[in-house]
Structure 1
Amino acid sequence: DPIDIMVALRSEHEKKDGKRMGIDVSTGKITCMCEKMIIEPLRVKQQVIKSATEATNMILKIDDLISIKGSKMPPAPPGGMGGMGGMGGMGGMGGMGGMPY
């Protein structure tokens, strides 16, 4: 069970020299990573954090765009140009500036 393994790993990390403990994916057990010769460089961790931050920012931007599209547009001010072209009365096409579409 992944939750049980993560709880056990956190428990091991709390102990003295627990920072070297990790999950052996072959056995599914918690072991010392130094004994297994598995060393994770700082650059890998920094890249993971950077990538996760970029992905989060992208998701938030998309969410903002969806929220904006879902909201109603504010009404035009009274006496404004109104609509496309804003030249009502020209050619009987009201608001389209007499241009056929």
Structure 2
Amino acid sequence: SGDVEDTFESGVVEPAHAKEQAVTSAAEAANLVLKIDDIISAGDLSTDKGDDEAGGPGGAPGGMGGMGGGMGGMM
């Protein structure tokens, strides 16, 4: 109808699980964006050195402190 109304009085009820999942998904997305930002920042730091030995052995990139653990802590 386009009017603002109380959804509970109108009979529209959203399950709590749907809201929990939305908040969880938003938190995971924010965490991913922050990790990507850290990776980009670390890449900028290694290119600013101007040194051929900025990476690890065999040209591998250096370690990222505090980035271990994978997805284990997200659930």
TM-score computed with the length of structure 2 as normaliser? 0.57
Amino acid across the alignment from 2:40: I
1:55 Cα deviation after fit: 0.2
1:34 Cα deviation after fit: 2.0
Matches of 2:50 and 2:24 in 1, distance apart?
38
Structure with more of its chain in helix, by fraction: 2
Deviating 4+ runs (over 3 angstroms): 73-76
What does residue 40 of structure 1 align with?
14
Q: Comparing both chains, which one has the higher relative contact order based on Cα–Cα distances under 8 Å and sequence gaps of 6 or more?
A: 2
1:35 Cα deviation after fit: 2.6
TM-score computed with the length of structure 1 as normaliser? 0.44
Amino acid across the alignment from 1:50: T
Percentage of pairs with the same residue: 35
Corresponding residue to 2:33 among 59, 62, 70: 59
Corresponding residue to 2:42 among 29, 51, 68: 68
- The answer for unaligned runs of 5 or more in structure 2 is 59-75
- SS of the aligned residue for 2:12 comes to coil
**How many aligned positions are there?**
52
Matches of 2:15 and 2:31 in 1, distance apart?
25
Matches of 1:73 and 1:61 in 2, distance apart?
22
Structure with more of its chain in strand, by fraction: 1
Matches of 2:19 and 2:28 in 1, distance apart?
14
* Greater Rg by CA: 1
RMSD of aligned alpha carbons: 2.5
